[in-house]
Amino acid sequence: MKPLGPIPAGYAAIDGELVIGGRKASDLVAQAGRTPLFVYSADLLRQRAAALRAAMPEQLSLHFAVKANPYAPVLQVMSELVDGFDIASAGELTLVRAAGIDPALISFAGPGKRDDELEAAVAAGVTLNLESEGEAERALAIAARLETKPRLAIRVNPDFDLKGSGMKMGGGAKQFGVDAERVPALVRKVVEAGAEWRGFHIFAGSQALDAEAIIETQAQTLKLAARLAEESGVPLPCCNLGGGFGIPYFPGDKPLDIQAIGSALKEQLAHLPEVLSGTRFCIELGRYLVGEAGVYLTRIVDRKVSHGEVFLIVDGGLHHQLAASGNFGTVVRRNYPVAIANRFDCPVEEEASVVGCLCTPLDRLADKAGFPHAGVGDLVAVFCAGAYGATASPAQFLGHGPAAEMLV
Ligand SMILES: *Cc1c(COP(=O)(O)O)cnc(C)c1O
């Protein structure tokens, strides 16, 4: 039997059933009128943000990386909880603005921004995290045409990456950001062109569970920001320190020690070099803020035995939960936290694999794991579904269409 990932804190059983946001899984499905269904808990979003605020230095701003979960009701809750929103496309800009979020709180990163995207962002007063000299030129030309002062920051490709991170996004040759040694010249160019200078964006990686690695990266990031500010000869208004805070998805994963990160960062910010004394700092997080607050519920439509192995076949699959199937950014397939939602407090009775309804062997939500005996009609819960679930899965694949979503 293969182990399952750890079920996040905050989920309990009532009458044997998984409860999300105070409501039983079967009630939520009844309200939605169908499965598969993503349910996000506003309480868990609030608790997570509060715990993070309490651990981090008071002056540190908290940004939400919208790509982790752009569902409108989630954005609405997040707008009460964070200080800024990081977007990666004009499509996300539309979603964030529709949630009533002030464009002055939005920053836009991403390689390959089209001219129409740059224009929409500049016109709205969004901060652009410039990814190249070419993009800087296009943004300045668009701003000149619109006769507006663009808000420009520079994404720095740091000369280090976040150790142990699931996805490296800095260090060496990268499509992201401007190589550190070329940044000072670009800062001067942008400032001389009359832009509103907003500072640096330095993002070194994602999904790290090792607090020491994040502490080290933040220290290196501050050093790099100081060096580049010094060399560019222009005061640095803001510095986005990136994020990379991971959540436990797989067996053996341990929650990140945010107290340790917060204390170390407090120390760092209390002893800044002179050149950073007027700089404001933020971090940008996606999965850490929303990942554990979401559950994907899918119904078993068939139970089969093949060559002695039990298969629980559900009405969802990798077209909604690509990450749980092991096909999104993981090398070795390991099990996510998965449970039978309407037998949440039952002991393990058998080994079974939970597979989706797609005609591909890749569509496996749990591989040879231990479950209570389950059959047709029972509900399967996949946890850690609040980030990169609905938004990062190929919902059109095989024509089943997207899952329902609900905030409770
Ligand atoms: C994806 C991304 C994030 C969010 O990553 P998480 O691992 O979800 O925290 C933050 N910043 C940038 C620039 C990103 O590309």
Question: Could you give the C-alpha distances from 43 to 17, 49, 54, 337, in angstroms and in order?
Answer: 19, 10, 16, 20
CA 134 from chain centre, in angstroms, equals 28
Q: Is the CB of 206 under 6 A from ligand 1?
A: yes
Q: Is the CB of 201 under 6 A from ligand 1?
A: no
- From atom 4 of ligand 1, which residue's Cα is the shortest distance away? 286
pLDDT at 63: 98
pLDDT at 267: 98
pLDDT at 331: 80
- Compute the distance between CA of residue 267 and CA of residue 400 in angstroms, rounded to an integer: 51
Q: What burial class does residue 301 get, using C-beta atoms within 10 Å of its C-beta: 0-12 exposed, 13-18 middle, 19+ buried?
A: middle
- Compute the distance between CA of residue 326 and CA of residue 5 in angstroms, rounded to an integer: 13
Q: Ligand 1 centre and the CA of 359: distance in Å?
A: 31
Q: Is the CB of 285 under 6 A from ligand 1?
A: yes
pLDDT tens per residue, the chain (408 residues)? 999 999 999 999 999 999 999 999 999 999 999 999 999 999 999 999 999 999 999 999 999 999 999 999 999 999 999 999 999 999 999 999 999 999 999 999 999 999 999 999 999 999 999 999 999 999 999 999 999 999 999 999 998 888 877 666 666 899 999 999 999 999 999 999 999 999 999 999 999 999 999 999 999 999 999 999 999 999 999 999 999 999 999 999 999 999 999 999 999 999 999 999 999 999 999 999 999 999 999 999 999 999 999 999 999 999 999 999 998 888 889 999 999 999 999 999 999 999 999 999 999 999 999 999 999 999 999 999 999 999 999 999 999 999 999 999
pLDDT at 407: 98
Q: Ligand 1 centre and the CA of 348: distance in Å?
A: 36
Provide the 8-state DSSP code for 291.
Answer: G
Could you give the domains of the chain? Answer: 12-40+292-407 (2.40.37.10), 70-285 (3.20.20.10)
pLDDT at 283: 98
Q: Ligand 1 centre and the CA of 332: distance in Å?
A: 22
- Compute the distance between CA of residue 331 and CA of residue 324 in angstroms, rounded to an integer: 12
As separate numbers, helices (DSSP H) first and strands (DSSP E) second, the chain gives 10, 22
Q: Is the CB of 286 under 6 A from ligand 1?
A: yes
